Amino acid sequence: MTASDLKRFPLLAELTDEDREAIFDLVDVQTIRRGRSLYRETAEADALVFVVSGHVRLSSRACADLGSLGEGSILGGASLLGMGQRAATAKAEVECQVMLLPRSAYRRLVEDYPRAACRLTEAIAAELAGLLRETIELVTNDHLG
């Protein structure tokens, strides 16, 4: 795996090669065996997760099955920007390779590569804004329909 492989993640596609290299230098690559948890609901949300290969199933106490995410997906963007708990449990449906960008590494990125950190933060904010818009649409349609 190289920094150029990060282009396949939509969150990082618009970043420069230099920005992706700075991020890649800080990630921790891990293999998660089938059936193992990447993280559990209510655990401290402390890392952004990039799904390199495999599929991750999300579930929570409120909803037994929140769906599955495959390669090229990211989980936990908000965890880089603030403290809080995970809203769901993420389990490997098959053996998965993931890259973790812990909050501590993100802080190093902010200090050492502020442009890359700013672009990553903007991408996360745009993704979160899109999710918020989708949620507002769903709630609005439920109330109107």
pLDDT of residue 135: 81
Residues 6+ apart with CB under 8 A from 36: 91, 92
Domains contained in the chain, number? 1
pLDDT of residue 2: 82
Is the pLDDT reported for residue 144 higher than 90? no
pLDDT of residue 77: 86
Range of the domain at 113: 3-144
pLDDT of residue 145: 59
pLDDT of residue 138: 81
The string of pLDDT tens digits covering residues 37-82 is 999 999 999 999 999 999 999 999 988 888 899 998 888 888 888 8
pLDDT of residue 1: 78
pLDDT cut 90: percent of the chain above it: 57
Q: What is the mean pLDDT of the chain?
A: 90
| pTM for this entry | 0.86
The string of pLDDT tens digits covering residues 82-115 is 888 998 999 999 999 999 999 999 999 999 999 9
CATH of the domain at 95: 2.60.120.10
**CA separation, residue 126 to residues 20, 75, 78, 86, 133 (Å):** 18, 14, 11, 20, 11
